[in-house]
Amino acid sequence: MRERPETSQIVIDGIASVVDGQDLKGIVKYNETIDEAKDVNYNWELMGLEESVDLNKYLVKRIKQLYGLTIDHLCQEAFATAISKGWHDEERETGTMLALIHSEVSEALEADRKGDEENFAEELADICIRVFDLSGAKDIDLQTAILKKMEFNKSRPHKHGGKLY
C-alpha cells in the first residue's frame, strides 16, 4: 500500500479523536450510543440539516474573523487608538502627520544601519500605523487607493520608462 501523506494521517487522527469525543458526549447526554438510539426518538435528517446549518455559521464566523482584517479596518483602528491617546484632541495639520511619517522612516533607517532587524520591522510597522492614522483622520479610502495603484504599477514599463532607480 502507498504510504499515507503526513497531512492525511493528521486529518484521520484528528477526525478519529473528534468522533471519539462526540461519542463520549453522546453517552453523557443521552445515556446511550448512537447504535443504541431508537430511530423513533430522533429525526436524523432534521438533526443533520441543523448541524450542517450550524457548521456553515461557524465557518462564516471564522472566515470573517480571519479575512476581516482589511486595510480599511486597520485605518479605522489606528485612528481610533490615536484618538483614545489624545493625539487628535486638537486638529492635526497634514504636514505634521507627514513629518511624523518621515520620522518613522528615519528611525527605520537607523535600525537598519545598526543591523537591528527586530527594531527595523517595528519601525516599518510605525510607518504603516502613521499612514493608517492619517488616512483614518482624513477619511481616505486607502485600501482602494493601494489596490488601484498596484494595478496601475503592473502596467508601467520596465523601470518606469528608463529611470535609473
Q: How far is the CB of 87 from Mg ion (least distance, A)?
A: 14
Q: How far is the CB of 110 from Mg ion (least distance, A)?
A: 10
Choice between 104 and 133, CB closer to Mg ion: 104
Choice between 127 and 143, CB closer to Mg ion: 127
User: Strand, helix or coil at 82?
Assistant: helix
Choice between 72 and 126, CB closer to Mg ion: 126
Among candidate residues 128, 156, 124, 126, the one with its CA nearest the CA of residue 142: 128
Q: How many helices (H) and strands (E) does the chain have?
A: 7, 0
Residues 91-150 that bind Mg ion (CB under 5 A): 104, 107, 123, 126
154, three cell numbers: 503592473
- Could you give the CA distance from residue 128 to residue 101 in angstroms, rounded to a whole number? 8
Q: How far is the CB of 117 from Mg ion (least distance, A)?
A: 15
- Could you give the CA distance from residue 105 to residue 112 in angstroms, rounded to a whole number? 11
What residues make contact with Mg ion under the rule CB under 5 A? Answer: 104, 107, 123, 126
